[in-house]
Amino acid sequence: MKIRTVEPLELAAPAGESSSPWGSTILLVRVTTETGAVGWGEAPTTLMTHPVRESVREVARFYEGRELHAHREALREFERYSFYRSRSMEATSALSAVDIACHDLLGRELGVPVCDLLGGRMRDKVTAYANGWYADCLTPEEFAARAQEYTRKGFRALKFDPFGDQYRTLSPQGLDLAVARVGAVRNAVGPDVDLLIEYHGRFLPEAAMRAGRALDRFAPRFMEEPVIPELSDGLADFRREVVTPVALGERLLTSADFLSFLRRGLVDILQPDITNSGGFSYGREIAGVAAAWGAPVAYHNAFGPVQTAATLQMDATLPTFFLQESFEASWPDWKRSLVRGYALEDGEFRIPGGPGLGIVVDDAAVERFRSEAIDPVGPEPPWVVGGTWARPPPRTGKGADG
């Protein structure tokens, strides 16, 4: 069974409907065989929607016309040709999406979930933590009230960025406000809910350490990407100064990257992203590194439903699974309508048992939300959960992407 086509499909919020609190576009990849069988993958889009889409077309040249069961040969050939692959988020993201879709097709052909192709499941459900829940929250009281709302939905872990518009440096007023926000959330949800502090990799080491020392008192489960990525050596000092474990990985692309961070003592909890670190093929290698090191794994998962479905298949097989990120409870209707086959209930995901990724993609919805939009710029960066730097402006009726 040969691969006939590899197609990137960009989607965006329709006019008049908001995007999610994070991520205004979705990039799906549809792989179709000569028999008409279809597999689905997904790639990240953060301010690189069109570059990744075009990179999918580059990757497609290595897969189209090749036997599905020989898809690993295509991957290895792309490795040889793509000179900058190990440092190109666009190249690895495109490759990841195609790899996910090929595994989806193989599972459908054999009638088994992808986790069975990876050696079999170790669990039937996983604990999720909520992200995106604090959209449009600015005051400590707003953070606290929204946190209580999400614990009533069954979440026992909440991730959030309390630092507002602080960037690189951290003013005394900015730190005081971050402490007040985290303290308000801790008081609102009590000691039995895990708090996960998101730094978004934006601080110089000194500022990150001041924040870490100040927030240690609230006993977070982890602090994510506290230091600007290109200054990652500063994480060694951070880990010596701050008690809370460090989590990172969404910007690491290869198993060698993860191994390097572990060897240098820069990270406690790994957060690979299946849509930019090589899909399932490289995902197995990263899982092996984590298992050999005894490092907990909490997959990054901030885009769309195909990503979630693929990540859950990976979660099922991880020897050191920790927690699973989820934006689902904050999604708008347009994202919810794309896929069925998995569910989030009382803060837990059940691993889909159907063939492949275990999902059904709604082709009509995919066509309805097709777009040529690019990520909007301002008033906040696209990686920010909306409305946490400033009050959102009144809606114009044009939709999130104009």
Catalytic site positions: 200, 300
Q: Give the E-state strand segments of 44-141 in sequence order.
A: 125-130
The two tokens of residue 102 are 């090929």
Q: Which H helix or E strand runs over 350? A: strand 348-350
Distances (CA, A) of 127 to 43, 47, 154, 155, 199: 24, 30, 10, 9, 22
The two tokens of residue 166 are 């602080």
C-beta neighbour count of 200 within 10 angstroms: 16
CA distance 163 to 59: 38
Token look-up 């693929």 returns 310
Burial state string for 344-373 with b = 16 or more CB within 10 A and e = fewer than 16: beebbbebbebbbbbbebeeeebeebebeb
CA distance 216 to 104: 42
